[in-house]
Amino acid sequence: MLRCIKILWFFLTFVVVFGQALDVRKIAEQSKPDALGVSGSAIQSGASQMRNEIEKLKQAQEQASQRLGQLQYTPLDGVIDGDKYLLGPHDIIRIQVWTAATIDEMLEVSPDGMVVISGYGAIEVGGLNWNDGKQVITDAIMESYNPERFAVTIAAVRIFWTNITGAVEFPGSYQIGATQRLFDLIQLAGGANGIADISNIKVFKKNGDTVSIDLTPYFAEGSIDANPYIFDGDVVFVPQVSAEYGTIQLYGAGIRNGYYGLNPGETVMQIAQRIGVFTQSLEFTGIQVVRGDDVHSVNLLASDFALNDNDVVIFPAHLDSIIVGGLVTQGGAFPYYPGVSVYAYIAMASGPDADGSENRYSIFRNGKEIKFKAGDNLHPGDVIIVHHSIFTRVKDFVEAIARVVSSSITVYYLIDRLTK
Q: Are residues 335 and 224 part of one domain? A: no
Q: Are residues 152 and 196 part of one domain? A: no
Q: Name every residue whose Cβ is closer than 8 Å to that of residue 242 and which is 6 or more positions away in sequence.
A: 197, 261
Q: What is the pLDDT of residue 92?
A: 92
Q: What CA–CA distance (Å, rounded) separates 194 from 324?
A: 14
Q: Is the pTM of this model over 0.75?
A: no
pLDDT tens by residue, 54-79: 565 556 555 544 544 444 556 677 78
Sequential DSSP letters for 91-144: -EEEEEEESSS-EEEEEEPPTTSEEEETTTEEEE-TTSBHHHHHHHHHHHHHHH
Q: Which of 157, 173, 190 is the last residue of a domain?
A: 157
Q: What does the pLDDT average to over 363-371?
A: 81
Q: Which of 179, 203, 238 is the last residue of a domain?
A: 238
CATH (domain of 76):
3.30.1950
Q: Are residues 164 and 151 part of one domain? A: no
Q: Name every residue whose Cβ is closer than 8 Å to that of residue 35 and which is 6 or more positions away in sequence.
A: 29
Q: What is the pLDDT of residue 31?
A: 46
Q: How confident is the model at residue 140 (pLDDT cuts 50, 70, 90)?
A: very high
Structural domain span for residue 261: 247-388
Q: Are residues 227 and 280 part of one domain? A: no
Asked if the structure places residue 20 within a domain, the reply is no
Distance of CA 194 to the CA centre of its chain: 22
Q: Are residues 202 and 145 part of one domain? A: no
Q: Are residues 342 and 254 part of one domain? A: yes
Answer whether residue 15 shows pLDDT above 80.
Answer: no
Asked if the structure places residue 184 within a domain, the reply is yes
Say how many domains are in the chain. Answer: 3
Instruction: Please count the CA atoms within 13 angstroms of the CA of 366 that sit on its side-chain side.
Output: 2
pLDDT tens by residue, 390-418: 766 566 566 667 666 666 666 556 666 66
Q: What CA–CA distance (Å, rounded) separates 379 from 352?
A: 21
Q: Are residues 193 and 268 part of one domain? A: no
Phi–psi pair at 207, nearest 5 degrees = -85, 5
pLDDT tens by residue, 157-185: 888 899 999 999 899 999 988 888 999 99
pLDDT tens by residue, 219-264: 777 788 889 989 888 999 999 988 888 999 888 766 777 888 899 9
Asked if the structure places residue 349 within a domain, the reply is yes
Q: Are residues 191 and 133 part of one domain? A: no
Q: Which of 190, 211, 238 is the last residue of a domain?
A: 238
